[in-house]
């Protein structure tokens, strides 16, 4: 199906967001708990080499956004990269990208809300933590049900707060890392010896974590469908937002590495949490907990928005109940309610089960999101090879774009395969690949069911089903 037909099929959502509000969604999904806590785990795996590993991951993310921003500016649609995959790679790929993205985000929402549990227990030990977390999910759902404007205003407030806090923490970290007071004496650094002792397995693990840490930046393509801006402004805004998100993430990792390397902060505690005590801030634990709450709510808010739009796109494609493809002046409220309900179900199952469910959810989400990035790069490869680009001039940019997309697709596949050799991700493909196979089988069954239904003679007086009503 042509991309223009898909855009017409998915039309109906009001374009009410500004470019600045669009940008905040990327900060909402990418600036997560791992960054505000100081990214201690990659530092533990790779030491100072985590910084170049994150830089390499940032280059992959920017390469993805270089092409995705062009596609989203030309063809803004709620299904975004799922719709582009359908048009460029085929309907099966479109379904799998949309479904994998939606399911992955629902699993993340339902499990990561539990990051708020320690804060709830610390502030209100007499209150049932599970009830408070379920209430938080309901509150986020209510904000999204009210429409894109309500979501954006909430996200701007949450993201602005965590950006300001993270920038302040990064500044403090560099100040204490480079200050001479209490610095342990160090021998001259032998660079050749440092290079020889680099833990390459740890660096690759840090690179894997970095790429996964930048997952969410692609959400800008989803928000573009409801942003009131010209194609040129959309493309420029998406690229600037990508650079800003990547820059802040790299600054946070570098600041954490500098703190640990200075000897002032232990690697076995979240560096930024310890930094608040080192700086003599009043109520450091309370301040850090507030930052955790703001960060987690921001991530969940953005992810619920993106997941609901992907579900809306699935419904418009006839691959989810048609009622979820209806929208009003405030947006696809039914898709939001369904997303929130499924996320709450995941939360309840995770709360009442052993750690096994969390392992399964993490493996499925990791595989699903890596698969989405792989499909995006394949889509970009097809795009830049010229099949969907006018042939007039610009052959060199097309060749360069195709080469970059192809190399990044191979790299994502290598990252996915390498998870089998990393203890923390050893079960990812063992669980995730059967999940992708089930998605494909689901597509086959659904397609055949729809074909059979269309082949049946219509009852007297019945009408042919039309596109979902706005």
Tokens 């408070």 belong to which residue? Answer: 132
Q: With 60 as the cut, is the pLDDT of residue 464 above it?
A: no
- The answer to whether 102 and 307 are in contact (CB under 8 A) is yes
Phi, psi of 394 (to 5 degrees): 60, 25
Residue 48 to residue 118: CA distance in whole angstroms: 30
- The answer to whether 303 and 113 are in contact (CB under 8 A) is no
Phi, psi of 440 (to 5 degrees): -65, -45
What percent of the chain has a predicted confidence (pLDDT) above 70?
Answer: 85
In-domain check, residue 458: no
Residue 316 domain boundaries: 3-177+199-452
Phi, psi of 207 (to 5 degrees): -65, -40
**pLDDT, averaged across the chain:** 84
In-domain check, residue 255: yes
Residue 107 to residue 347: CA distance in whole angstroms: 8
pLDDT value at position 306?
A: 95
Residue 94 to residue 371: CA distance in whole angstroms: 12
Out of 181-195, 334-348, 414-428, 438-452, the most confident range is 334-348
In-domain check, residue 206: yes
316 to 102, 138, 154, 280, 440: CA distances (angstroms): 14, 25, 27, 54, 19
289 to 27, 33, 120, 273, 302: CA distances (angstroms): 19, 11, 9, 9, 20
Q: With 50 as the cut, is the pLDDT of residue 467 above it?
A: no
Residue 57 to residue 250: CA distance in whole angstroms: 10
Q: With 80 as the cut, is the pLDDT of residue 177 above it?
A: no
- The answer to whether 68 and 218 are in contact (CB under 8 A) is yes
In-domain check, residue 466: no
Query: 78: pLDDT confidence band, cut at 50, 70 and 90?
Result: very high
Long-range pairs for 275-280: beta carbons < 8 A, 24 or more residues apart: 275/38, 275/169, 275/172, 275/173, 275/176, 276/169, 278/176, 279/172, 279/176
Residue 84 to residue 106: CA distance in whole angstroms: 22
- The answer to whether 53 and 210 are in contact (CB under 8 A) is yes
Query: 42: pLDDT confidence band, cut at 50, 70 and 90?
Result: low
Determine the 3-state secondary structure of 258 from DSSP: helix
In-domain check, residue 193: no
**Better-predicted residue by pLDDT, 173 or 315:** 315
Q: With 80 as the cut, is the pLDDT of residue 390 above it?
A: no
Helices (H) and strands (E) in the chain, counts: 20, 0
Residue-wise pLDDT for 242-254, tens only, equals 999 999 988 888 8
Which range, of 128-137, 178-187, 190-199, 306-315, averages the lowest pLDDT? 190-199
Q: With 50 as the cut, is the pLDDT of residue 468 above it?
A: no
pLDDT value at position 224?
A: 92
20 to 216, 351, 416, 423: CA distances (angstroms): 17, 36, 33, 40
In-domain check, residue 468: no
pLDDT value at position 169?
A: 85
In-domain check, residue 157: yes
CATH number of the structural domain spanning residue 354: 1.20.1740.10
Query: 145: pLDDT confidence band, cut at 50, 70 and 90?
Result: very high
Residue-wise pLDDT for 401-419, tens only, equals 888 999 999 999 999 999 8
Mean pLDDT for 368-393 is 79
pLDDT value at position 430?
A: 93
Provide the β-strand partners of residue 331: 328
In-domain check, residue 191: no
Query: 432: pLDDT confidence band, cut at 50, 70 and 90?
Result: very high
Query: What predicted TM-score, i.e. pTM, was given to this entire model?
Result: 0.88
Number of domains into which the chain is organized: 1
Alpha helical stretches, state H, 197-280: 200-214, 219-223, 231-262, 271-278
Q: With 60 as the cut, is the pLDDT of residue 45 above it?
A: no
């Amino acid at each position: 199906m042509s991309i223009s037909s898909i855009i017409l099929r998915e039309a109906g959502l009001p374009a009410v967001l500004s470019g600045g509000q669009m940008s905040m969604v990327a900060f909402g999904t990418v600036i997560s708990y791992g960054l505000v806590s100081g990214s201690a785990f990659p530092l533990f795996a790779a030491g100072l080499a985590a910084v170049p590993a994150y830089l390499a991951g940032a280059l992959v993310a920017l390469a993805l956004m270089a092409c995705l921003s062009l596609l989203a500016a030309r063809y803004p649609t709620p299904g975004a990269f799922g719709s582009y995959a359908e048009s460029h790679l085929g309907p099966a790929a479109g379904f799998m990208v949309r479904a994998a993205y939606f399911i992955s985000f629902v699993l993340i929402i339902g499990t990561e809300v539990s990051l708020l549990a320690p804060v709830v227990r610390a502030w209100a030990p007499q209150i049932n933590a599970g009830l408070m977390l379920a209430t938080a999910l309901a509150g986020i759902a209510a904000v999204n049900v009210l429409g894109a404007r309500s979501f954006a205003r909430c996200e701007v407030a949450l993201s602005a707060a965590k950006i300001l806090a993270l920038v302040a923490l990064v500044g403090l970290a560099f100040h204490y890392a480079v200050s001479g007071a209490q610095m342990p004496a160090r021998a001259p650094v032998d660079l050749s010896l440092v290079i020889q002792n680099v833990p390459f397995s740890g660096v690759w693990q840090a690179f894997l974590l970095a790429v996964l840490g930048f997952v969410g930046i692609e959400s800008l393509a989803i928000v573009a469908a409801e942003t009131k801006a010209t194609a040129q402004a959309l493309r420029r805004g998406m690229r600037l937002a990508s650079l800003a998100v990547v820059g802040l993430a790299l600054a946070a990792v570098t600041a954490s590495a500098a703190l640990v390397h200075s000897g002032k902060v232990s690697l076995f505690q979240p560096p930024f949490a310890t930094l608040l005590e080192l700086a003599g801030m009043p109520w450091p634990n309370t301040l850090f907990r507030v930052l955790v709450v703001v960060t987690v709510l921001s991530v969940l808010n953005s992810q619920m928005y993106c997941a609901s739009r992907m579900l809306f796109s699935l419904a418009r494609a006839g691959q989810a109940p048609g009622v979820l493809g209806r929208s009003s002046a405030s947006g696809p409220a039914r898709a939001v309610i369904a997303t929130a309900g499924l996320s709450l179900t995941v939360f309840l199952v995770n709360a009442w089960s052993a750690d096994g469910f969390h392992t399964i959810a993490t493996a499925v989400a990791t595989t699903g999101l890596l698969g989405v990035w792989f499909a995006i790069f394949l889509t970009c490869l097809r795009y830049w090879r010229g099949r969907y680009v006018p042939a007039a001039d610009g052959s060199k940019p097309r060749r360069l774009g195709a080469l970059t997309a192809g190399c990044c697709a191979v790299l994502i596949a290598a990252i996915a395969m390498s998870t089998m050799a990393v203890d923390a991700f050893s079960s990812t493909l063992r669980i995730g690949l059967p999940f992708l196979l089930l998605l494909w089988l689901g597509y086959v069954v659904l397609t055949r069911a729809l074909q059979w239904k269309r082949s049946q003679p219509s009852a007297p007086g019945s009408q042919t089903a039309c596109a979902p009503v706005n």
